Amino acid sequence: MQAALLAAIYADPASDQARAVYADWLLERGDPRGELIMLQLAGVETPEQVDRERELLQTYARAWRGPLPVDASLIAFKRGFPVGAAETPTIDDDPAWATFESITTLPRTPVFHLASLRELVLDSEGMIALAAFGPPLRARRLVWRTDRRDPRVTEARGAFATIRAVPDLESFSLHGHATEAARDLAWIRTSWCMPQLRSLGIEIWGLEVPEALELFEPTQLERLRIRIVSGPREEALLWFARDASGRFGELAVQISYSIDDVALAELGLAMRRLSSDQLSKLHFDPHTGEHAQIVRDGVRQQIRLR
């Protein structure tokens, strides 16, 4: 009976009904996974429900991790089943992969069982492999993880131009390699996927923010996320969206509590270089407001940004 119930979920992972039936069956037998499924299907997150979910996952996630031979604490669950992990192993034909929305390695077998796939998170080796991958994948978001020490960056960038396995791609993000000059991102601007992208994430130095806006404003992008960096930590995020005039005039700013002096200076320069007629709406993260909260020598201080 259990095998048949699971098969129904894997055959139609978007269906809540199949999961609810399975949850009822589990609850009748005193299995706590039924409670997790029902909690996550409810969609209402009271503090008590959040605490109970956390308790259940801390206790049982290892037993519920499906095909993942990884640390259960690194697995994300939705509607009672795994949807992603910090790292996924090589993907085989286990039907349990049907609930995964995000993977970090490419499958070795036909991809008919990746029915929920929405995101690929790949390193340079994965990007190169994706260029040679045959069957189309349903992913709508592609994340390329790299860094300045990556010896295959140039090869992966060249491979990116030939990728055809993600025809429905809507979002692309580059993580781990900050670009010093916005013009160095022209390879994205002229790429095969640019006409269909709706969201783009890049990493640059603060001085280049206006140039990045100038580079990508003529495209059909709806959202542009710029990460300002000065070191290995995530320092500040600028989220641009189109305003009524069609420009990237709406900006939300999110700042790390541990932002350092260099990144703060970069952010300040970026904000000052954005002309008043560029921005029609400015929103600061509620945790920081218009003051960046930073920590120096163990003491929390506030620095006004504008």
State pLDDT tens for residues 118-145.
Answer: 999 999 999 999 999 888 898 999 999 9
- Residue 270 belongs to a domain: yes
Domain residues for 242? 202-306
- Residue 167 belongs to a domain: no
- Residue 75 belongs to a domain: no
Q: How many domains does the chain have?
A: 1
Vertex 285 angle, CA 284 and 287, to 5°: 125
- Residue 70 belongs to a domain: no
Distance CA 139, CA 111 (A): 11
- Residue 102 belongs to a domain: no
User: What pLDDT score does 305 carry?
Assistant: 46
User: What pLDDT score does 252 carry?
Assistant: 83
> What is the arithmetic mean of pLDDT over 58-70?
81
Q: What is the mean pLDDT of the chain?
A: 83
> What is the arithmetic mean of pLDDT over 268-289?
64
- Residue 217 belongs to a domain: yes
Q: What is the pLDDT of residues 170-209, one digit of tens each?
A: 999 998 877 878 888 999 999 999 999 999 999 887 678 8
Q: What is the pLDDT of residues 1-43, one digit of tens each?
A: 999 999 999 999 999 999 999 999 999 999 999 999 999 999 8
Give the residue with greater pLDDT, 290 vs 224: 224
Q: SS3 for 152?
A: coil
Lowest-pLDDT range of 55-64, 225-234, 246-255? 225-234
Token pair for 217: 């404003």
What's the burial of 269, exposed, middle or buried (CB within 10 Å: 0-12/13-18/19+)? middle
* Percent of the chain scoring above 90 in pLDDT: 45
Strands (E), 35-110: 75-78, 81-85, 102-103
User: What pLDDT score does 232 carry?
Assistant: 54
- Residue 129 belongs to a domain: no
Helices marked H in the chain — which ranges?
2-11, 16-28, 32-42, 47-60, 124-131, 153-160, 186-189, 209-216, 261-273
pLDDT at 150 over 80: yes
pLDDT at 159 over 80: yes
- Residue 287 belongs to a domain: yes
Cβ 142 vs Cβ 169: under 8 Å: yes
